[in-house]
Amino acid sequence: MINKKVKVYIAGHKGMVGSAVWRALEKKGYSNLIGKTSKDLDLRNQQEVFDFLKNEKPDIIIDAAARVGGILANNDFPYQFLMENMQIQNNLIEGALKTGVEKFIFLGSSCIYPKFAPQPLKEEYLLTDSLEPTNEWYAIAKITGVKACQAIRKQFKKDYVSLMPTNLYGYFDNFDLKSSHVLPAMLRKFHEAKTNNNASVNLWGSGTPMREFLFVDDMAEAVIYALENKLPEYLYNIGTGKDITIKELAETIQKVVGHKGQINWDLTKPDGTPRKLMDVSKMKELGWQYSTELEDGIEKTYKWFLKNIDSIKEVKLEAN
């Protein structure tokens, strides 16, 4: 059993994933958690990161910090999505190595896998073909983080592991329509249409691509599993192993929200990758699997959205 007083630094602890990890660790009795906001610590600044890690000396680092966004944001800000994500993760990984951190958990995204990789996506498909162009900048940054952690495992024998979640959603998600992912963007659109006399909702693409979604609290449990166990390999997929079409997702959100209007699909907009389903058998064999079904998770997320609607309407991109 791991000592619950171990010092854990959660980078990005105010974001959706980081805050879920923080809540889950607190719930399990971990009492020595560290977090810094972007105002207090700029993770893009190497010297600031190194000084912070040298002073705090965490035993474990969980890297949940990133610049994130959907297709539109990735398309409009390719340089920031590539460079800022590399700066954040490189500073944390190199700083961890230099200051003697023995365990590092790096969180990425399923977009690291090739656009037309066989389904479901296995860990060994990494770097076997070209990426989806609409988010390759973010994906390339995350791939370098995975490879950096793998290199440290190989060369320095440290317990640095990468967890690649499928599409995440839940409490503290980004609901800003210019920068959010598909599920929170849809949830907000359907809510606003409902309050506007059930106006019709316009959605991108054809609705035919298939996607997998994981409730963020389940992701947090996977992180804790990796924290409390020494995983034998460097890379693990985290997801449900089940997917649905974007059209089915829209209809599920519409049902949860209670919107009674029409859905219009804009075929001039891109669909993105046709399918992204994770093979989660490796984590399942080790003893972890998801617990929250999609409709239940959407209901929890919508309740949270309604409770916090005044403070989340204009969420902006944050580096960490």
Which positions are catalytic?
138
Helical H runs in the chain?
A: 16-27, 46-56, 71-76, 78-98, 136-156, 182-195, 216-228, 246-257, 281-286, 294-307, 309-312
Q: What is the DSSP letter of 125?
A: G
Q: Which amino acid is at 247?
A: K
* Contacts of residue 36, Cβ cutoff 8 Å, sequence gap at least 6: 13, 52
**Residue 108 annotated as lining a ligand binding site:** yes
| 211 annotated binding-site participant | yes
Known binding residue 28? Answer is: no
Integer Cα distance of 212 and 113 in angstroms: 14
227 is in an annotated binding site: no
| 110 known member of a binding site | yes
Residue 204 annotated as binding site: yes
**Is 271 marked within a binding site?**
yes
- 57 in a known ligand binding site: no
d(CA 150, CA 46): 21
Pairing of strands 235-238, 159-165: parallel
Q: Is 109 within any annotated ligand binding site?
A: yes
Name 87's Cβ contacts closer than 8 Å, sequence gap at least 6. Answer: 43, 44, 46
159 vs 279: CA distance, rounded Å: 23
| 39 marked ligand binding residue | no
Point out which residues pair with 265 in neighbouring strands.
Answer: 203
Is 218 marked as a binding-site residue?
no
Whether residue 13 is annotated as binding a ligand: the answer is yes
- Is 75 within any annotated ligand binding site? no
CA dist., res. 150 & res. 81, Å (int)? 22
107 labeled part of a ligand binding site:
yes
Angle CA 251–255–296, to nearest 5:
100
- Give 26: exposed, middle or buried? Use CB within 10 Å, 0-12, 13-18, 19+: exposed
203 annotated among ligand-binding-site residues: no
Residues at the binding site are: 12-18, 107-110, 142, 165-168, 181, 189, 204, 211, 271
Residues at the binding site for NADP(+) are: 12-18, 107-110, 142, 165-168, 181
Residues at the binding site for substrate are: 189, 204, 211, 271
